Amino acid sequence: MERSQKVTLLMPKETPVPAGGFEPASSEYAFADRLAAWKARWGINRYRLGIKPGLYALEGPSAGSPVFATANYKPSFDALRRNLKGVSAWLLVLDTKGINVWCAAGKGTFGTLELTRSIRETGLGKLVSHRRIILPQLGAPGVSAHRVKAYTGFSVVYGPVRAGDIPEFLRLGNKATPQMRLVRFGFEDRIILAPMELVYFGKYLLPAALLFYFLGARSDALLTVFTLLASTALAPALLPWLPGRSFAVKGAFAGLLGITAAFPLLRLGPLPLAARVMLYVPAASFIVLQFTGCSTYTSLSGVMKEMRAALPAQAVCAAAGLLMLLGGVLWR
């Protein structure tokens, strides 16, 4: 009883259906698409990759053709269409504000209500004879399949996690194998995130390094650059081999590796060097802690737990390092 009430409350308003509201699309993946994807990885024009939401007709679909839903983020849309070579299909692009499927599902913009609205407004039910819509599995955090069914009559079929598995999924008669259902975080998945991390933190740390250099603090300029590289590129690459489960702990070790790599280039006595370790290790720890957001396996509860311990520890450690530096200057 209570549940049916909830359903009525959440039901979006019916809106008039535009006639023939779809656009053509192709499965061709051109150089310009590749370039846009590469630029997005470096944070260039990343938030201007929203495509027009709505219904797209891929290779002249008919009433019996399958329907796939995706986000209105160009790389998501491209990943879908390029893996549908030789397939006629309807592509329903939800308005996720130009954000990829998984992130949008986490926020709920790739979600039950947007999917329902989109099915209604595009008049999809009049274009196809079946009532099935294939969603990327990573859209599931935002979607309640049973609610979509209740609102629209369409059954949600969760496809594979990776668009690359779609041909095999179709061959198996819309079945995803257990392997297709698993999200991975292998070397390639991790290292592809490094440019974005490097660009984001480099924005602050490279000017800082330059400033140190011109102030004559050559060792600090070097340490800043090495810490940046260790925490944004080395840490993702070595993530499984860095000790501990906590990202803050892994980050501290990455920071130590960075300092070790810089060591032959440094001109510092034991005490000033110790002070630098106390400063740059927590900095690396903090940066790698932010990488939890890029990882595919950390939970909010876990992140909260480690932040409660890590942030105070990082602050105390860095403050001690600063005091040591100041003490060293005053002593002289």
Partner 1 sequence: MALRYLKGVSTLKLDVDKCIGCGMCVEVCPHAVFKLEARKAAILDSDLCMECGACSGNCPVQAITLKKGVGCAAAVITGFLRGTEPDCGCGDGSCC
Identified binder of partner 1 from the candidate list 10, 82, 107, 272, rule CB under 8 A = 107
Q: Which is nearer to partner 1, 51 or 145 (CB)?
A: 145
Q: Per CB under 8 A, does 110 bind partner 1? A: no
How many residues form the binding site for partner 1 (CB under 8 A)? 52
Tell me the CA end-to-end span of the chain in Å, nearest whole number: 78
Contact stretch for partner 1 (CB under 8 A) within 138-146, 202-210, 262-270, 314-322? 138-146
Q: Which is nearer to partner 1, 75 or 328 (CB)?
A: 75
* Contact between 259 and 280 (Cβ < 8 Å): yes
Contact stretch for partner 1 (CB under 8 A) within 53-61, 97-105, 224-232, 316-324? 97-105
Q: 98-127 in b/e burial notation, b at 16+ Cβ within 10 A?
A: bbbbbbbbeeebbbbbbbbbbbbbbbbeeb
Identified binder of partner 1 from the candidate list 172, 305, 312, 322, rule CB under 8 A = 305
Identified binder of partner 1 from the candidate list 88, 144, 155, 219, rule CB under 8 A = 144
CB atoms closer than 10 angstroms to residue 187: 13
Q: Residue 315 Cβ, how far from partner 1 at the closest point, in Å? A: 13
Q: Residue 92 Cβ, how far from partner 1 at the closest point, in Å? A: 19
Q: Residue 279 Cβ, how far from partner 1 at the closest point, in Å? A: 20
Written as six digits, the tokens of 49 are 């990759």
What sections of 192-331 are H helices per DSSP? 194-214, 218-229, 235-238, 247-262, 270-290, 300-331
Which residue do the tokens 């070595």 mark? 238
What's 14's DSSP letter? P
Written as six digits, the tokens of 140 are 């599931």
Q: Which is nearer to partner 1, 182 or 319 (CB)?
A: 182
Q: How far apart are CA 322 and CA 243, in angstroms?
A: 26
Q: Per CB under 8 A, does 182 bind partner 1? A: yes
| Amino acid identity, position 292 | T
| Amino acid identity, position 18 | P
67-71 and 22-25 as β-strands: parallel, antiparallel, unpaired?
Answer: unpaired
Q: Per CB under 8 A, does 185 bind partner 1? A: yes
Burial class of residue 321, CB neighbours in 10 A (0-12, 13-18, 19+): buried
Identified binder of partner 1 from the candidate list 123, 298, 313, 328, rule CB under 8 A = 298
Q: Residue 205 Cβ, how far from partner 1 at the closest point, in Å? A: 16
The length of the chain in residues reads: 332
Q: Per CB under 8 A, does 91 bind partner 1? A: no
Q: Per CB under 8 A, does 300 bind partner 1? A: yes
Contact stretch for partner 1 (CB under 8 A) within 56-64, 79-87, 104-112, 119-127? 104-112
Q: How far apart are CA 141 and CA 162, in angstroms?
A: 16
Q: Per CB under 8 A, does 130 bind partner 1? A: no
Q: Per CB under 8 A, does 230 bind partner 1? A: no
Q: Per CB under 8 A, does 173 bind partner 1? A: no
CB atoms closer than 10 angstroms to residue 90: 24
Q: Residue 215 Cβ, how far from partner 1 at the closest point, in Å? A: 29
Q: Which is nearer to partner 1, 65 or 285 (CB)?
A: 285
Q: Residue 115 Cβ, how far from partner 1 at the closest point, in Å? A: 12
CA dist 16 → 72, 112, 121 (Å): 22, 19, 7
Q: How far apart are CA 81 and CA 10, in angstroms?
A: 32
Identified binder of partner 1 from the candidate list 57, 217, 268, 294, rule CB under 8 A = 294
Residues contributing to the site for partner 1 (CB under 8 A): 47, 97-100, 103-107, 137-138, 140-146, 158, 161, 176, 178, 181-183, 185, 200, 239-241, 245-247, 289-290, 292-307
